[in-house]
């Protein structure tokens, strides 16, 4: 500050002196003058006190560089920075850039009891302040020159990872790395994140989500750190890391192997009660026709719900005349719409019998008959989601969860975690009608066993879209236009049609039988009146 005369004094600055300086700058009655204390323990380090602030400076013969406010930069950190700045000056570094970078790197998680010589942040700051280094050249070009924080690492990783994933899976993948519990790390430089930090994040997630969700988030977090270490070590501040210590970051989780194979009668009974009881609570809307139609379609086609719900009316094509399938239509999905393994998705065509088509068309008309999607919800321009279809299955079993009641992690001074709210109780129609619990994916297992008994195991694999041994699809067929998919010889239309005819006939016959039986059984108690459709 030109024209200002400071009262200067040299002394071994102590933590008590720092507290007093901060108090003097904040207390009007103290009538603080412009004072500078030069630290005799660290050459060049100066504490300046004014009427509005107390700050650390590095005084050199040619220039003065501000480190930061005393309230934000502890005394050991200020000495560390001054010490490293003297060394950087001997190497001809840009001292202003060096100090600014080192302050950012040391501002998180620094312990006042830690020796200021036992960390390596200065090496990163030194490289950034070196005009001839890669990071220095990036700084001169105006590019971001500081090392990544956890938030920046997440965004950089996702920008490279997501384009390699299927479009429908990208949002779900990104969601796990953006869970609110990662906010603890978002502003921390990656180099300062410790195993203890990762454990805290994991434990907070375990208090808020199911183990399967935490397992996915932790696995993707490890993948992200390994990517940074392998390809962007300097940018992430991991260039001095000798081993992937984060691989120890894990969560106890055991995959649940499902062995449910519902009987055809149980699948049919579920489809019928979903159609009969659309109003399950006075406080909830009726189940949309598109959702009921999607449930019936899942039963009749045994397709994965992710692909099934992407079906559109204009993707139902008439088969070739030589196929001799009058009244049938062939549903088509592209490779992108199908589930892919290591080899990616494969286009899929499924012949649908006339009796099954009538069911699909009935529900399509009930939901408005104008949507571009075969299964639409309240808004005709939006298709039913997988979660909506799963929720229907839960509601039929009397399980309706309030997602606002999830466990919350501890808060300072508020021990916990808090107990989750219990699920709302509804009439369990599965139990009332003698249906064992099952999931929509289990239909695929039932169809496979049904056709195996008919000696049509090959048809089952083709219908389900399984890749068979030596079943490598040529790139030409994989990339064929959707209107041509059902003409490809690899689609085995005739074989699929044989299996689909048997399956749909058996299931629809079971539905008729179950409907007659259910109408004779007393109505479940505590259910609201049905408006009927």
Question: For 123-161, what is each residue's pLDDT tens digit?
Answer: 767 777 787 776 677 667 665 546 788 998 999 999 999
Structure tokens at 228: 């940074």
Nearest residue to 294 via CA among 351, 399, 400, 374: 374
Q: Which residues pair with 316 in a beta bridge?
A: 331
- Round to whole Å and give the CA distance between 293 and 288: 9
Torsion angles phi and psi, residue 337, rounded to 5: -85, -15
Q: For residues 438-465, give the mean pLDDT.
A: 91
Long-range contacts of 272-277 (CB under 8 A, 24+ apart): 272/511, 272/514, 272/515, 272/518, 273/396, 273/429, 273/433, 273/518, 274/392, 274/396, 276/515, 276/518, 276/530, 277/396, 277/429, 277/524, 277/527, 277/530
Is 92 a residue whose pLDDT tops 50? yes
3-state secondary structure of 468: coil
The pLDDT tens digits for 292-318 are 999 999 999 999 998 899 999 999 999
Q: Do 293 and 375 touch, CB atoms closer than 8 A?
A: yes
- Selected residue with higher pLDDT from 221 and 472: 221
Mean pLDDT over 273-296 rounds to: 87
Of 328 and 255, the structure prediction assigns the larger pLDDT to: 328
How does pLDDT run across 40-62, given as a tens digit for each residue?
999 999 999 988 889 999 999 88
**Which of helix, strand or coil describes residue 344?**
strand
pTM to 2 decimal places:
0.56
The domain limits of the chain are 7-140, 150-248, 264-519
Q: What is the pLDDT of residue 477?
A: 40
Residue 96 or 31, more confident: 96
Q: What is the pairing mode between strands 7-11 and 35-39?
A: parallel
Yes or no: domain 150-248 corresponds to CATH 1.10.150: yes
CB atoms within 10 A of CB 233: 14
Of 22-36, 106-120, 167-181, 412-426, which gets the smallest average pLDDT? 106-120
Question: What is residue 400's predicted lDDT score, i.e. its pLDDT?
Answer: 67
């Amino acid at each position: 500050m030109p024209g200002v005369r400071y009262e200067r004094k040299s002394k071994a600055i102590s933590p008590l002196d720092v507290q007093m300086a901060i108090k003097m700058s904040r207390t009007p009655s103290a009538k603080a003058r412009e004072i500078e204390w030069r630290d005799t323990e660290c050459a060049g380090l100066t504490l300046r006190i004014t009427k509005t602030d107390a700050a650390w400076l590095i005084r050199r013969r040619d220039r003065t560089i501000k480190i930061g406010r005393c309230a934000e930069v502890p005394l050991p950190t200020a000495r560390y920075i001054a010490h490293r700045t003297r060394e950087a000056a001997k190497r001809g570094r840009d001292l202003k850039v060096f100090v600014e970078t080192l302050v950012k790197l040391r501002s998180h998680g620094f312990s006042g009891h830690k020796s200021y010589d036992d960390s390596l942040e200065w090496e990163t700051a030194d490289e950034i302040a070196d005009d001839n280094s890669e990071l220095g050249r990036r700084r001169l070009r105006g590019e971001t020159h500081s090392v990544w924080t956890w938030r920046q690492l997440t965004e950089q990783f996702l920008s490279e990872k997501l384009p390699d994933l299927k479009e429908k899976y990208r949002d779900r993948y990104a969601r796990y790395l953006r869970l609110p519990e990662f906010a603890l790390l978002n502003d921390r430089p990656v180099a300062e994140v410790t195993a203890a930090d990762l454990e805290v994040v994991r434990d907070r997630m375990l208090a808020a989500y199911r183990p399967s969700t935490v397992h996915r988030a932790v696995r993707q977090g490890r993948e992200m750190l390994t990517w940074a270490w392998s390809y962007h070590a300097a940018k992430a501040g991991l260039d001095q890391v000798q081993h992937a210590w984060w691989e120890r970051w894990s969560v106890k989780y055991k995959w649940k192997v499902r062995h449910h194979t519902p009987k055809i009668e149980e699948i049919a009974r579920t489809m019928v009660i979903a159609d009969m009881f659309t109003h399950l609570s006075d406080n909830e809307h009726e189940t949309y026709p598109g959702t009921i139609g999607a449930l019936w379609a899942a039963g009749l086609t045994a397709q994965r719900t992710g692909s099934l719900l992407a079906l559109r009316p204009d993707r139902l094509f008439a088969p070739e005349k030589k196929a001799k399938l009058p009244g049938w239509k062939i549903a088509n999905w592209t490779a992108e719409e199908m589930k892919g393994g290591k080899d990616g998705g494969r286009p899929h065509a499924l012949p649908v019998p006339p009796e099954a088509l009538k069911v699909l068309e009935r529900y399509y008309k009930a939901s408005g008959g104008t949507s571009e999607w075969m299964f639409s919800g309240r808004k005709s321009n939006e298709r039913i989601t997988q979660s909506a279809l799963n929720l229907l299955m839960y509601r039929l079993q009397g399980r309706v969860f309030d997602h606002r009641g999830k466990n919350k992690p501890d808060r300072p001074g508020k021990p916990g975690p808090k107990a989750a709210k219990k699920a709302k109780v509804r009439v369990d129609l599965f139990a009332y009608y003698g249906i064992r619990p099952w999931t929509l994916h289990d239909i695929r297992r039932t169809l496979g066993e049904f056709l195996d008994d008919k000696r049509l195991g090959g048809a089952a694999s083709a219908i389900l879209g399984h890749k068979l041994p030596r079943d490598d699809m040529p790139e030409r067929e994989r990339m064929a236009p959707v209107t041509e998919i059902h003409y490809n010889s690899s689609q085995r239309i005739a074989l699929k049609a044989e299996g689909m005819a048997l399956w749909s006939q058996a299931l629809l016959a079971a539905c008729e039988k179950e409907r007659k039986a259910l109408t004779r059984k007393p109505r479940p108690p505590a259910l609201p009146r049905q408006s009927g459709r």
